[in-house]
Structure 1
Amino acid sequence: MTTTTQHRRSEGTLAVAGGLTAFAAVMLVMSGMLDIFRGIMAIADDAIYLSTPNYVFKFDLTSWGWIHLALGLLAMAVGIGLVMGATWARAVGVGVAGLLIIANFLDIPYAPFWSVTLIALYAFIIWALCVVRPDSETY
């Protein structure tokens, strides 16, 4: 009787772990798409964003656009790899989410609320990808 209860608990934990990976994959695809749009907006018209004259990490907004476009495409590719169950996608997903946290941190003066929101989302994606064990049956 005791082993049945423990077995059910582990099945529930595995279901949650699979759900976290699926959530991280969907969030990477969606946020990657939004970063692509954000990059296109910055490349096409610099007047959309607020400009800060005395920013230490000052880049041209077109450069920020290309950075967000490239990272958004990479995030979408990794998210699709996670959906397909690729083994490389978890490690690369953590790395891409970390790069996106850094890019959004450096982009705070141009879009403060959106950057802080994405930093929190990417931190959750990193947590979701790190907490799942790849040897689980539902992965």
Structure 2
Amino acid sequence: MFILVNGLLAGLGLAAMLALGDGLFATQTFPVLIDVSYVPGMENLPSIVELLIHLLISIVLAFFLMHFYPRGQAAAVAKYLGYWNLGFALAYVVFSWLSGTSMSWVGFLIWLLGHLLYSVMLMVQMERQR
């Protein structure tokens, strides 16, 4: 239950951050986050279904992030979350390309900040559980 709730909250926080960034800076990071039209059979899904798929993926990622979370020094935690965020950064390039969305440095920065928020939200909950 802990992972389910925190995965949902972190996923919603990420979606809200990207939507806000898109509104403020006219980027396209939120559509990159939820777009699944490149998956065969999922070409014409409503946006709400795409968002629910994103939240399901968020729960799965939260499970792995929290399951392997290092129980040690702050340096080990920072390194661990750094690797996760490197993966999230690479995901921006891949998913932008797959969805046909134009990439920008501002969009990339918003994507990174949103995923940093996602990671920190999960980290805070893990630290509270110690």
Do both share a fold (TM > 0.5)?
Answer: no
- RCO (CA 8 Å, sep 6+): is it higher in 1 or 2? 2
Structure whose CA Rg is larger: 1
TM-score (norm 2): 0.37
